[in-house]
Amino acid sequence: MPPLLRPDLKIISEWIRPGSRILDLGCGDGALLAYLRDQRQTRGYGLEIDADKITRCIQAGVNVIHTDLEAGLSDFDDDSFDYVLMTQTLQTVRHTEWLLDEMLRVGREGVVTFPNFGHWKCRLQLALGGRMPVVKTLPHAWYNTPNIHLFTIRDFEQLCRDKGIQLLQCVVLDHAHRLSPGLQLFPNLLGEVALYHLGRP
Amino acid sequence: MISSFPPDSVGLVTPQILRFDEPLPLDCGRTLPGFELIYETYGALNADRSNAILICHALSGDHHAAGYHQADDSKPGWWDTSIGPGKPIDTRHFFVVCCNNLGGCKGSTGPVSINPDTGKPYGPNFPIVTVKDWVRSQARLADRLGITAWAAVIGGSLGGMQAMQWTIDFPDRIRHAVVIAAAPRLSTQNIAFNEVARQAILSDPDFHEGHYYEQGVIPRRGLMVARMLGHITYLSDEGMRARFGRELREGKLNFHFESEFEIESYLRHQGYSFVGRFDANTYLLMTKALDYFDPAADFDNDLAAAFRQAQARFLIISFISDWRFSPARSREIVKALVAAKRDVSYAEIPSTQGHDAFLMPIPRYFETFTAYMQRVAGEVSHDASLAKT
């Protein structure tokens, strides 16, 4: 029996064609890659910089390559993957726009998930409290957060439009990665986590 | 006393020798009419012979990878940190084999062995052997031990090169390759260092063009300088500074050429002790095997094409302070494996110990190594249970 799965992994897996070749940027403990391998018969690699997470990937039987994403994907050829995934990673990197470019150079399609800074709780904490928001999806203080690029769903869609990146599919979830229909009405206000399926310009 | 060995040691071990009478064709065009390999084993081979692991040694290594030959040995085998019950290569799960390579000087056929054609030691007439030749001879050893496929072939440095060559030359006989602190081929600088080491030996007046056995001498000074030079490339600048600094043995400058700085004394000691246990002709051969190693050369210099032959899964490990075979060299291997669509994991380990780090029990390194080997062990048990049903 597969372990009970987070809904975000399930949604992403529905976007992935069976048998695809996958590169997961910032793959963490390899849970997504292991799930896609088991459910979608995918093959591929995770890139990770944290030593403990690398060990956990190896324990899970997931291919993991020690990589500093800030150095880019120069070790990977154009078009070498069907999908490049970036779950909860884009907001942690310095060269955001460049990494998006790299992602869609190496992969024919992309999947990006990120915490939505436009969620009403963030807006309220900043507007009324006058403080940088601390919420479940962004739990760190401003001075110790790994999330160095904070952006909203609207910001992200604007960047993709400016770059001509195709927005193929989008789903927003709450902080527990649950899907509820109400969220999709006002995604930038109610969504805490955004999932995007991207296509090349 | 056996009880005096640490609990995670394989304990007392006895080398064995196998004689191979079928001629072995070599890359250089010559053929060894027959040869012997000395080897050790640790742990037990399982019923379906699926848990065997081959350890490949580096330049100055041998078949004595773990355990003790005698109860009062001052030091265990060269990779005792990694091989034993509860260690990364866990002898409770694996049957571990390590042989001295052809051309060696520790009991396998090499320059010190008697050439059957002349009745004298081969000396400098021993053929220059390559990594591919070693792999071919190791495959014969596997045949004789009844091992159809290794669960893993594992090695550091030149040993890692043998593991890579195994995946290319015998893809169906190796399920995993663990390649530690290695490179896909030597850099120009690597070859340059090897050439200086060789010149040190070749220019020693006691070398006698390799026929020093008959003269009753050994090219002591040349071999010592070669080892001192090699040793510098095994350590890092940072590690050397931390360990020796500019410390003076007598606390003051003496204005002479005896060893004054601690590092000088250390290198001389390394050189002296090496001369007593290693053969100069073998040293020359081993450096040549390093220089010649280039699996991509057989595939239009396309390393990915070489690895497309492979079926094994790979673990590649490098060390930050290793400048002999730096992390960038390991990443070349990883890049080619990804391009060849092979299964590979890669870890870069922080350490100040330079190239020698692969012999050290560095926690980060061992966590990664152990996690991978536990996966391999899991597959082996799975295979065994399938075989029973």
pLDDT tens, position by position, B120-144: 999 999 999 999 999 999 999 999 9
Q: Does B345 touch chain A (CB under 8 A)?
A: yes
pLDDT tens, position by position, B220-229: 999 999 999 9
Q: Which amino acid is at B298?
A: D
pLDDT tens, position by position, B342-376: 999 999 999 999 999 999 999 999 999 999 999 99
Interface of A with B (CB under 8 A): 21, 43, 45, 51, 54-55, 57-59, 61-66, 75-77, 80
pLDDT tens, position by position, B263-302: 999 999 999 999 999 999 999 999 999 999 999 999 999 9
What's phi and psi for B315, nearest 5 deg? -120, 125
Q: How large is the ipTM? A: 0.94
Q: In whole angstroms, give the CA distance from residue B26 to residue B103.
A: 12
Q: Which two tokens stand for residue B121?
A: 């030691």
Residues 239-298 of B with CB under 8 A from A: none
Extract the runs of DSSP E, i.e. beta strands, from chain B.
16-20, 24-25, 31-32, 35-42, 52-56, 95-99, 152-156, 176-180, 313-319, 344-349
How close is the nearest chain B Cα to the Cα of A61, in Å?
7
The answer to whether the predicted template modeling score (pTM) of the entire model surpasses 0.80 is yes
Find the mean pLDDT for residues B8-34: 97
* CB-CB neighbors (< 8 A) of A77 in chain B: 339
* CB-CB neighbors (< 8 A) of B348 in chain A: 66
> Active-site residue B355, yes or no?
yes
- B271: number of Cβ within 10 Å: 20
Find the mean pLDDT for residues B179-190: 98
Q: In whole angstroms, give the CA distance from residue A197 to residue A159.
A: 14
Mutate to test the interface with A, among B175, B179, B315, B345 (most CBs of A within 10 A): B345
Q: Which residues contact B56 (CB under 8 A, 6 or more apart)?
A: B98, B101, B134, B138, B153, B154, B155, B158, B159, B160, B162, B163
Comparing CB atoms, the residue among A63, A75, A76 nearest residue B345 is A63
> Active-site residue B302, yes or no?
no
* Partner-chain contact B341 A43, CB within 8 Å: yes
* Partner-chain contact B345 A57, CB within 8 Å: yes
Written as tens digits, the pLDDT of chain A (201 aa) is 233 457 888 899 999 999 999 999 999 999 999 999 999 999 999 999 999 999 999 999 999 999 999 988 999 999 999 999 999 999 999 999 999 999 999 999 999 999 999 999 999 999 999 999 999 999 999 999 999 999 999 999 999 999 999 999 999 998 877 887 788 889 999 999 999 999 999
Q: Which of B157, B236, B318, B330 does the annotation list as catalytic?
A: B157
* CB-CB neighbors (< 8 A) of A61 in chain B: 375
Q: Residue B28 above 50 pLDDT?
A: yes
How close is the nearest chain B Cα to the Cα of A101, in Å?
20
* Partner-chain contact A45 B371, CB within 8 Å: no
Comparing CB atoms, the residue among B344, B371, B374 nearest residue A63 is B344
Q: pLDDT at position A177, please?
A: 79
Q: Which residue of chain A is at minimal alpha-carbon distance from B374? A: A59
How close is the nearest chain B Cα to the Cα of A135, in Å?
33
Q: Which residue of chain A is at minimal alpha-carbon distance from B341? A: A44
Q: pLDDT at position A180, please?
A: 79
Extract the runs of DSSP E, i.e. beta strands, from B295-384.
313-319, 344-349
> Active-site residue B117, yes or no?
no
Run of H or E residues at A193:
strand A193-199
Q: Which residues contact A106 (CB under 8 A, 6 or more apart)?
A: A23, A73, A76, A77, A78, A79, A80, A81, A84
Q: In whole angstroms, give the CA distance from residue A154 to residue B130.
A: 61
Mean pLDDT of the residues in chain B: 96
Contact B53, B11 (CB under 8 A): no
* Partner-chain contact B339 A77, CB within 8 Å: yes
Q: pLDDT at position B81, please?
A: 98
How close is the nearest chain A Cα to the Cα of B172, in Å?
20
